Structure 1
Amino acid sequence: MSSVSIKNVRDGSQDGRVKTWKTPWMAQREKMSEGARASDPGAHAGNAAKTAKARVRAELGRRRRLMIAPLGFAALTALLLGLHQGRLLEFIYPAGALVVTALLFRRSPAHYLSFVLWLFFLTPEVRRLADYFNGAFSDRSLIMLAPVMAAAFCGVNLLTHFRVLMQRRAIPLTLIVLSMLYGYFIGMVGAGIAAASYVLISWLFPVLIGFHVLVTWRHYPEYHRVLLKTFVFGGFLIALYGVIQYVNPPAWDAFWLAHCGMTSEGVAAPFSMRVSSTMNSSGPFALAMMVCLLMTLAARNKMALLAGGLAVPALIGTMSRSVAGGLAIGLLYLFIMLDTRSRLRLAAGIAVIVLLCSPALMVDEISEKATARFSTVTQLDNDYSYQVRTEIYRHFLSEMTTNIAGRGLGMTGIGSKLSDDGSSNNVDFDSGLMEVPYVLGWPGLVLYTAGVLTLVLRAFVTSFARKNDRFAVAGTAAAFAVLAMMVFVNTLVGAGGVFFFIGVILPVAGRRYALEMQSRSEMKLKAQKDMTAAEGHAPAPAGTAAQLSIARPSPLVP
């Protein structure tokens, strides 16, 4: 008979378990199957190997499918630029970026964050190309909204994970958000809704990025793989373009520099333009290049060394002394935190990078200007920017003691141009340490400082306990370097803020994932030990090799 009705009946055993009634044919087939597995363990292992290979192929296929939308978006952008459709691109680019963002946000948190970083890397250059092919410089371009909208999209997590805001792991971010809301309400009164809202977005979306990483900690292995590739290949691309720009500026960069009015960026001539690469100016590029260089030190491939070799001359071309100080702090942190073996590898990597970039330092046009620029560190009396910054500190220290409530968001920077009372009462700060208390006042300063310091302390303790996770340690080093530059400019907003909050949240996410994997591995090993004791097979590892490598706890972890 071809089919048998199977019923669950209770046998007469004392344990009262429910067994399934089987026909003699089915029982004999099961017995033969069990005997074959017991007599031929190699076949069982072969089936397991085939299953593992199938899973690897499925994962590779998933990764390829995730790249379809970003590559299609890049191809469409290149096509419109090739057709000189800059006006149309101003609408297509932000809309297309938002569509790709929505797709990646739903499918892969790590690829979503990688796409956001690529937008910050390349969007200003797309805007320059669009203006150049249009033949007209645009003071306000819709293209520049793409990275901000993509980063702010992760605010959806506040709706789906709002309960996490009250958990201990998210309290620092909650304090920072409360301080910003306080400054926003003060700013609406002083500067107006438009100015306060504009500045709030630039202050808030880096915090949202940090919250995104925090609530998606289970994807930490994918963050480790995807973000490390993003920093390596992204750093290589923008560093290479920066070197080309310094040696022979392209026509669209010369067009941009001639119309943007930033005289501090030099002139569009060989060896006369401060390197801004694909970004708006040398400052944001130097900050991004510093973070990419620190993160590439966590990679172990030839591309990372090549990217580092290009990053050093590109950084020198920016003539940014603040970034040089931040890079020194980040490297020092890496040397202190890593174990002896990793220190030797780091030292060897830095030595190779220096050798790769040494030919560029032998060019007189590069070495002479760099020497003249950085020599002013020891000649502060003749340093105009130092004198201006000293005057800022002297003036606003008295302002802080008299204005307890703060001026509010929208009273400084670009957002002040949108204020209701014009720009007569608004200021541009050359110091992040002074801007935060000036804007947020004493109430907001207490909340903001408490949140930032808690994040930094937690990242330090976590990375110290897990020195084997070089990726998390490098992220913390980059965050410390970004924070140290607050003396010169507010680096915790915009792209700099994105780098900072990613850096301080990654160690926390990594440790939480490691503890989860360790607990799960112990449970599975215990269950498999009981199941395989009779067959005599070794229990299979609970997780892939990459997962176990990342989750391997340090001896310092309690």
Structure 2
Amino acid sequence: MSEAPFLAAPQPTRLPIRARARRRSRSRMSFLIGPLATPVSVFVVTLILIVAHQGKLLEVTFMPMAVAVSYWLYRRYPVHYVSMVCWLIFLTPEVRRFADFYNGVFNQTSIIMMTPFFAASLAGLSILNKYRYLGQRRALPLIMMLIAIVYGYVLGVAQFGIMAATYGLINWLQPIFIAWHLIVTWREYPTYRRVLTKTYVYGAIVMGAYGIYQYVAPPPWIAFWMAQSGMESSSGSAVPFGMRICSTMNSTGPFALTMMVALLMLVSAPGKAKFFAGIVGLPSLMFTLVRTSWGGLVIGLVYPLAMLDSKSRLRLIMVGVCVVGLCAPAVMIDQVAAPLLKRLQTIQDIQNDSSFQARSGFYTNFSEIASRSFAGHGIGSTGIGAKLAADPSQVLSVVDSGVVDVVWVLGWPGTLLYIGGVLMLLWRAFVASLLRSDDRFAVSGVGASIAILAIMVMVDTLQGSSGMLFMIGTVIPVIGLRYVRHMQRLNALSGAARAGRPS
């Protein structure tokens, strides 16, 4: 009996008309309700409300709409959920400014600002859904940090009340939630690399271009917000070339750090969009006049440059030179150059700089602070949560040092656990990127994390949005290595199965 009928490949059959119609209908629905179209619709609706000057309606609808879409993405598209959280961090403060401007009243406690807060907290469901991962060795750094945070929370509730401690707790937990979400969805690493790279590139373009516009011609809603919030004392006046820009974010510091990370992640970005991102991103970072982020950008570039091969390193240097060269004509304008040169001169005369003196005072008195904080004061004793404290006399609402902040809040027992977990995460990311030095996305993530940690001496960068960016940079190389090893094992098993199959 001939074997030809059994060996011949099956011939494709033409689908019936109704089946083809159903397939076209499903493809249209997947386009209309998909990981890209649905989040974009949130911002389209927001833009329509802004154009229609519906500030009150915008204030009421933005948070429920954005959080609902974030939850849907979390359940259906975990990678795009992380991207959505990033975009909410980038753009939510600007939405709040529009709402306040068209309402005609500055809202000190705008509910819009809670949107990234709630959207990022959804990642905490991953711990409940994947609690079995807690027993694995890869979860050890996060468990150490969690124990330290719970310790600080108990202290905070006892001393400052449940409101202040709980608000601060979520701010401390959000980076761990995002890190855990990345760990349990490690099989999506190729999609993470593609989607997050685009998020950083286009985020840098949007925030950078808007920041330059804000610097050259401050719009009226920025002037209204600066006057009503009291930001003029620290960010200058809302006149052309007269302010330290914050672009779409809430203040210059968070924007400068976010733009620093975005520029560092451009190292791994393919295509031509990264050039435009660099051209608008670098000047906007300079116009913030935040020296710590300037230094962080330089520190963060050292690691990718060291890891790249000679050809790629030369190409990166040439790209950097081209971007700087294209930005150079703007610096020749007197109104632009004057504040930049004045800020650069303070680096040379650092001893007479008031900001440096304020921060160095923390470290001069660090031994006294450390002795007063051996057991810790608890979460809710610093930051925004301190404003909700039952006993305001015991809080430090402003701490210009991330290291002092951690020691003050967690005490030495909690600090050793927390910093130990952070350093373990960074070490694992470093080792993973060394083993896969050809993965530029992973290498750039480690560089960005090193830069964020370096700024820790000036401000606490491990909480909130900056902490989430740190976790993305440290966890991505680890899950990338795990994904590659998993695929190598599958390929080896598949090759062995084909080799053992009878001909």
Normalising by structure 2, report the TM-score: 0.93
Q: Which has the larger radius of gyration?
A: 1
SS of residue in 1 equivalent to 2:405: helix
> Is residue 297–residue 349 contact of structure 1 (8 Å, CA) maintained in 2?
no
Deviations 1:486-540 (A, max 9, x none): 0110011111001000100000000000000111112223333555x85xxxxxx
Confirm whether residue 270 of structure 1 aligns to residue 240 of structure 2: yes
Q: Secondary structure at the match of 1:387?
A: helix
Answering whether residue 42 of structure 2 is matched by residue 79 of structure 1, we say: no
| Aligned residue type for 2:476 | L
2:365 match: 395
Deviation sequence 1:212-239 (CA, Å, 0-9, x none): 1011000000001100000001111100
CA gap of 1:86–1:321, structure 2 versus 1, over 3 A, is same
Q: What do the CA deviations read for 1:422-446 (whole angstroms, capped 9, x no partner)?
A: 3564341000011100110011011
C-alpha separation in 2, matches of 1:292 and 1:339: 22
- In structure 1, what is the equivalent of residue 17 of structure 2? none
Equivalent-residue separation in structure 2 for 1:199 and 1:36 (angstroms)? 66
Which SS does the other structure have where 2:398 is aligned?
coil
Q: State whether structure 2 residue 66 is matched by structure 1 residue 94.
A: no
2:195 pairs with 1:226: yes
The answer to whether the aligner puts 1:173 opposite 2:142 as a matched pair is: yes
Counterpart contact for 1:238–1:278, Cα < 8 Å: yes
Q: Partner of 1:217 in structure 2?
A: 186
Letter in 1 for 2:440: R
Partner Cα separation in structure 2 for residue 435 and residue 112 of structure 1:
30
2:215 corresponding residue in structure 1: 246
Give the match's secondary structure for 1:66.
Answer: coil
Structure 1 residues 362-441: aligned runs within 5 Å: 362-423=332-393, 425-441=395-411
Aligned residue in 1 for 2:473: 503
Q: Is the 8 A contact 1:220 1:510 kept in 2?
A: yes
The residue correspondences of 1:115-154 to structure 2 (distance < 5 A) are 115-154=84-123
User: Paired residue for 2:426?
Assistant: 456
- 2:133 matched residue in structure 1: 164
Matches within 5 A, 1:174-189: 174-189=143-158
Deviation at 1:83, TM superposition (A): 2.4
Residue of structure 1 aligned with 2:295, choices 316, 325, 328: 325
User: Residue 5 of structure 2: which of 33, 36, 40 is its match?
Assistant: 33
SS at match of 1:297: helix
Q: 1:60 to 1:527 in 2, by over 3 A?
A: farther
Corresponding residue number in structure 2 for 1:49: none
- Aligned to 1:182, the other structure's residue is in SS state helix
Where does structure 1 lack aligned partners over 5 or more consecutive residues? 1-26, 45-54, 535-558
Instruction: Assess if the C-alpha contact under 8 Å between 1:416 and 1:423 holds in 2.
Output: no
For 1:77-105, what per-residue CA distance to the aligned partner results, in whole angstroms no more than 9, with x for missing partners? 12222222222222211101111011111
CA distance in 2, matches of 1:296, 1:59: 33
Distance (whole Å) between structure 1 residues aligned to residue 312 and residue 258 of structure 2:
24
Preserved contact between residue 417 and residue 423 of structure 1 (Cα < 8 Å): no
1:163-207 deviation line (CA, Å, top 9, x unaligned): 212211011011001101100110111111111111111111111
Task: Give 1:393 deviation, angstroms.
Answer: 1.9
> Given the alignment of the two structures, is residue 312 of structure 1 paired with residue 291 of structure 2, yes or no?
no
After superposing on structure 2, the runs of 4+ consecutive aligned residues of structure 1 that deviate more than 3 Å are 34-37, 58-64, 423-427, 528-531
Q: Alpha carbons of 1:472 and 1:61: their partners in 2 closer, same or farther (altered >3 Å)?
A: farther
Letter in structure 2 aligned against 1:465: L
In the TM superposition, what is the alpha-carbon distance from 1:59 to its structure 2 partner?
A: 9.9
Aligned mate of 1:356, from 322, 326, 332: 326
- Is 1:479 the counterpart of 2:459? The answer is no
Aligned to 1:334: 304
Bigger drift between 403-412 and 342-351 goes to: 342-351
Q: Indicate conservation of the 8 Å contact 1:313/1:361, yes or no.
A: no
- Equivalent-residue separation in structure 2 for 1:192 and 1:253 (angstroms): 35
Cα distance in structure 1, aligned partners of 2:458 and 2:443: 24
Task: Check the 8 A contact 2:183/2:479 in 1, yes or no.
Answer: yes
Q: Does 1:107 align with 2:76?
A: yes
Q: Given that residues 257 and 293 in structure 2 are in contact (C-alpha distance below 8 angstroms), is that contact kept between their aligned partners in structure 1?
A: yes
Report if aligned partners of 2:259, 2:281 keep a CA contact under 8 Å in 1.
yes
1:402 is displaced (CA, Å) by: 3.6
Q: Verify the 8 A CA contact 1:277 1:285 in the aligned structure 2.
A: yes
Identity of aligned residues (%): 45
CA separation of 1:527/1:311 partners in 2, compared to 1, >3 Å: closer, same or farther? same
Paired amino acid for 1:480? I
Q: What CA deviation, in whole Å up to 9, does each residue of 1:444-502 have, x standing for no partner?
A: 01110110110111111111111000001001111110010001100111110010001
- TM-score of the superposed pair, with normalisation by structure 1: 0.84
Match of 2:316 among 334, 346, 349: 346
Where in structure 2 are there 5+ consecutive unaligned residues? 13-22
The residue type paired with residue 275 of structure 1 is: I
Determine whether 1:68 maps to 2:40: no
Which amino acid in the other structure matches residue 369 of structure 1? P
Aligned partner letter, 1:428: V
* Letter of the structure 2 residue corresponding to residue 179 of structure 1: A
8 Å contact 2:384–2:397 — kept in the other structure? no
Q: Number of matched residues? A: 489
Distance 1:63 1:524, change over 3 A: farther
Q: Which residue is 2:415 aligned to? A: 445
Which fold has the larger relative contact order, with Cα–Cα distance below 8 Å and residues 6 or more apart in sequence? 2
* Structure 1 position 34, deviation (Å): 3.6
